[in-house]
Structure 1
C-alpha cells in the first residue's frame, strides 16, 4: 500500500481502499470477496495503480456532444480530456483530491477545479467514503465557484464483478438507445432483454444505455459467492447507465447519476441542477452487503 492509498476497515469484514488520485476507490471487499471489480480505466488512479473500482462523476457524467452546450443564452465549449474525442466524466477522476479528514472508517476528500479554456466549470467538490458495518456510503457535494450560473450534475461510476450467474434488479420507466459516439439516441420502452424490474441475468451482448425514471434502488446478486449488494440512492439520482461489454467481461458498470448523459445538449427533464454562484448540490448512495440466503 502506498502513501496515496487510504485503507478503511471494520470488524464486520468490510475493507475499502481509497486514493486521492482521481478520488477513486481502488477496491472494496466483504470478508475477502470483491464487491467492486478493479478495472483499467483512463482515470488518474489507473495511470498510477493500474486499475480503479469506482470513481466520482463531477461536474457531470458520461459525454457531451460536440464538446459544447448552450445555457441561458450563452455558448460554452469544453476540450476533450482523454483519448475519446468527446469530453468524458468531467474533471474529478483526472485530478488529485486533498484529504480533509480520515479515520479508520471514513475519509473525506476535496477537489477544486478552476475555469479554463478546457472547461467553463469552476467548483469545489467534496466526497466522503464511509463504512458502517456491512454498508458502504458514498456522498458527493458540488459547490459552484464560477461567477455565473451553470448546470451541474453528479454521479458515481462503480465497476462490479460479472460472473456467469450474476443477476441485476433495477426498475426504471424507460431507456435510451445508443448512437454514434456512445451518446444517448432515442427514448423508448425498455426492451425485455435489458428489463431488470423483476431481476434478470445480464445479456451476453454489448450494453451501454441510459435509463431514467429510476426509483433509486438496485440489487446485484452473485450466487457463486453467496452474497448480494443492495444499492439505495437519494432522490437526486433518477438516472443510471448500464455498461456491460460482453458475457466474457469480468465486470459491468451500474452508474447512478443525477442527470441523463448528454443532458447539457438536451436539458428538458435531463436532471441537471441550475446552480447559482456559491450554491451546492449533494447526493448520496449506500451499498449494503447481504448474505444471499437472507436477502
Structure 2
C-alpha cells in the first residue's frame, strides 16, 4: 500500500488530502471550516464510491446551515432556548438555530482548527487537528478538542476524537459527527437501513426528548417512502454497534460502526432530508438535550480526557 498526504486549494480554502494510490481511497479535510471531511471516497471492487454529500463550492460550504459533515462539540443537536443548568448554575448559549429558538450543534462548527500531526505509515495515514475552547459565551470552560482522521490499508476510514479538560472545574461534554451519506447515484428510496437499536427517543414539537418508546421496524428496513428525523438509544452486546446502509442494486453495504459502552457513542440520530438524495447517520455520545437531562452526558473532571472512535467501511 502506498499512502500520501498533500495540501491543495479549494477556492481560497486550504485543504488536506489523504490518499492511497493502489485503491484510490481518499479523504479531503478542511481545517479552517471546522476540520470537516469534505470528500470521502472508498472502493468496492471496480468502483470508487464517493460516499459523502457536502456543498460543492467554497462559498456554499461556508454558508451551509445543514451541518454537512460537521463535528459537533461540546454538545450536539438542540438545547431548548440555549439554556442549561450544570452543577447548580444556569448558563445561556447563543440561540443559533434557524428561527432563534434553540442552541444547536455545539461551538466548533466553522472554526479554524490547527494541524497537530500528519503521518504516513505502511498500513495507514492520518491527520490530527485541534481546536481550543477557552470560555466561549455560555460555556465557561477550557477544553482542548482534537479529531484524528485516518485511512487504513484494509479500506477503513476512522474518526477518533478526544477532549481534555484544561480548566479547574468539571465541565459537561458531548460529541457527535453529522455526515450525510450517498451511495452512487441512487436516492434514499432505493436503500435499506439496519439500525442497531430497539428504542427510539420520543420528541416534543421542538424536537426535544420527552421519553422513549419501543422501536418497531424491520431489520433491515426499506427506506422507500419512510422519513426519519429521530434519535435512538443504541443496542450493543459488545464494545461497538454498526448501522448498515444497504444498496442491493449495487451489491454494497456502508457500515458505520460506533464504539459503545461507558462514555462512548451510545446514541444515534438518523435524518432523511426532504430532497431524499442522501441520509444523515449521526453517532452521538449522549442524547439530545443531554446538558439538561443528563442522558449519556459525560462530565469531564479537570485534567481528564474523554475519547471515542467511529469507523466507516464499504462491504
- Of 240, 254, 270, 1:242 maps to 270
Distance in 1 (CA, whole Å) between partners of 2:307 and 2:99 is 28
Please list, as runs of the form range in 1=range in 2, the aligned pairs for 1:143-182 lying within 5 A after superposition. 143-161=164-182, 162-182=187-207
CA contact (8 A) 2:228 2:271 kept: yes
Corresponding residue SS for 2:189? coil
How far residue 50 of structure 1 moved from its aligned partner, in angstroms, is 10
Deviations 1:236-295 (A, max 9, x none): 11100111134x42111110011001111111xx111111122111010111111xxxxx
**Which residue does the alignment assign to 2:5?**
none
Corresponding residue SS for 1:5? strand
Gaps of 5+ in 1: 291-295
- Of 231, 256, 259, 2:286 maps to 259
**Which residue does the alignment assign to 1:185?**
210
- Of 93, 113, 118, 2:109 maps to 93
Classify 1:165/1:171 alpha carbon distance in 2 versus 1 (closer, same or farther; 3 Å).
same
Classify 1:80/1:145 alpha carbon distance in 2 versus 1 (closer, same or farther; 3 Å).
farther
**Which residue does the alignment assign to 1:293?**
none
Distance in 2 (CA, whole Å) between partners of 1:50 and 1:180 is 21
- Of 301, 311, 314, 1:276 maps to 301
Distance in 2 (CA, whole Å) between partners of 1:52 and 1:103 is 28
How far residue 223 of structure 1 moved from its aligned partner, in angstroms, is 2.8
Is structure 2 residue 38 aligned with structure 1 residue 16?
A: no
**Which residue does the alignment assign to 2:84?**
69
How far residue 163 of structure 1 moved from its aligned partner, in angstroms, is 3.6
Distance in 1 (CA, whole Å) between partners of 2:250 and 2:16 is 26
What TM-score do the two structures reach when normalised by structure 1?
Answer: 0.87
Gaps of 5+ in 2: 1-7
Instruction: Give the RMSD, CA atoms, in angstroms.
Output: 2.6
Is structure 2 residue 41 aligned with structure 1 residue 29?
A: yes
Classify 1:136/1:164 alpha carbon distance in 2 versus 1 (closer, same or farther; 3 Å).
same
How far residue 111 of structure 1 moved from its aligned partner, in angstroms, is 0.7
How far residue 224 of structure 1 moved from its aligned partner, in angstroms, is 3.7
How far residue 103 of structure 1 moved from its aligned partner, in angstroms, is 4.1
Corresponding residue SS for 1:81? coil
What TM-score do the two structures reach when normalised by structure 2?
Answer: 0.81
How far residue 44 of structure 1 moved from its aligned partner, in angstroms, is 9.7
CA contact (8 A) 1:151 1:275 kept: yes
Corresponding residue SS for 1:93? coil
Distance in 1 (CA, whole Å) between partners of 2:132 and 2:60 is 17
Q: How many residues align?
A: 282
Distance in 2 (CA, whole Å) between partners of 1:61 and 1:116 is 16
Deviates most, 116-125 or 248-257: 116-125
Deviations 1:160-196 (A, max 9, x none): 1144321111221311123222322331111x3xx25
CA contact (8 A) 1:159 1:254 kept: yes
CA contact (8 A) 1:229 1:288 kept: yes
Classify 1:224/1:7 alpha carbon distance in 2 versus 1 (closer, same or farther; 3 Å).
farther
- Of 112, 120, 134, 1:114 maps to 134
